[in-house]
Amino acid sequence: MTRSVLITGCSSGIGHHAAHAMKARGWRVFATCRAEEDAARLREEGLESWALDLASTDSIAAGIERALEETGGTLDGLFNNGAYAQPGAIEDLPTDALRAIFEVNFFGWHELTRRVLPVMRKQGHGRILQNSSILGFVALRMRGAYNSTKFALEGYTDTLRLELDGSGIHIALIEPGPVTTKIRVNSQKHYERWIDRRGSYWGKFYETVMEPRLYAPEGGKPDPGELNCEATTKATLHFFEARRPRLHYPVTTPTWAMAIFKRTLPPRLVDRIAIRV
């Protein structure tokens, strides 16, 4: 029988690339995204797609219900991928800004996962891939909100893996470093909504260091070690298709390097390296 997978955040980047690649390999892919106009574009590209807004419990419920209706009540895979970044220093982030990003990057994933797990337990198998980040185990300045959601996701996933032992359900983390996507461009509106740089201690830093990078033209100079989405899709395919999938999938040289630094170097030295990034 055709294997099925639901992927969130497919409007562009990692989710978009993975959806097309898995469809090409014979998977039945439900490529969801927040906005209906993006879902319409994906349908034109030949994907089965509909809107699934991770900030809406009703949208999540409708999205998973539709997938199960399409398959007759089964689902082989879930790729939790949809997320966004919130630039800015922690002291400049209103609490509502943190609530908003956790709603999408963490609570929405939990809601979707809880709705999928009974299905997978009943059928006796399933695979759930969580798109974390190098920022899930190494903190960088001006990324505190995103860091926090990904650090939370790492602990959540490691715990759930223990609780799924013996169930036939595999769960793993993919941890990309710099990958060519639209996450920087998409984060601009969140920066503009929540950060008041004029009244901030960090105002000069925003103006001279962060904003030139945040608003740099697309297609400009890549970050050191940056790869395209083929690298993340390769890891994604291994997780969903390998007989014995891994627990963690570090992607890009910076991710591997920082993982080694975290294990071998004193924390203060790791801090000095992170401050220079």
d(CA 170, CA 155): 16
What are the CA-CA distances from residue 29 to residues 15, 16, 21, 129, 183 (Å)? 11, 11, 10, 14, 23
Q: Average pLDDT of 112-138?
A: 98
Known active-site residue 146:
yes
**Confidence grade of residue 248 (pLDDT, cut at 50, 70, 90):** very high
Query: Does an H or E element contain 23, and which?
Result: helix 13-24
pLDDT digits (tens, 9 = 90+) for 16-60: 999 999 999 999 999 999 999 999 999 999 999 999 999 999 999
The count of other CB atoms within 10 Å of the CB of residue 91 is: 9
Helix, strand, coil share of the chain (percent; to 5): 55, 15, 30
For residue 102, what are its two tokens? 């956790």
Residues in the chain: 277
pLDDT band at 5 (very low <50, low <70, confident <90, very high): very high
Task: Tell me the pLDDT band of 148, cut-offs 50, 70 and 90.
Answer: very high
pLDDT above 80 (res 70):
yes
Q: Which of 84, 146, 156, 249 is catalytic?
A: 146
Helix (H) or strand (E) holding 220: none
Distance CA 107, CA 85 (A): 15
Residue type, 192: E
Average pLDDT, the chain: 97
Give the residue from 99, 136, 131, 137 showing the smallest Cα distance to 112.
131
pLDDT for 226 equals 95
77, 3 Cβ separation under 8 angstroms: yes
pLDDT number for residue 218: 80
Which whole number is the average pLDDT over 237-264? 97
**Tens-digit pLDDT profile for residues 175-234:** 999 999 999 999 999 999 999 998 899 999 999 999 999 999 887 788 899 999 999 999
Residues whose CB falls within 8 Å of the CB of residue 140, separated by 6 or more in sequence, listed in order: 147, 274, 277
Q: Answer whether residue 7 shows pLDDT above 90.
A: yes
Q: Which two tokens stand for residue 110?
A: 């939990």
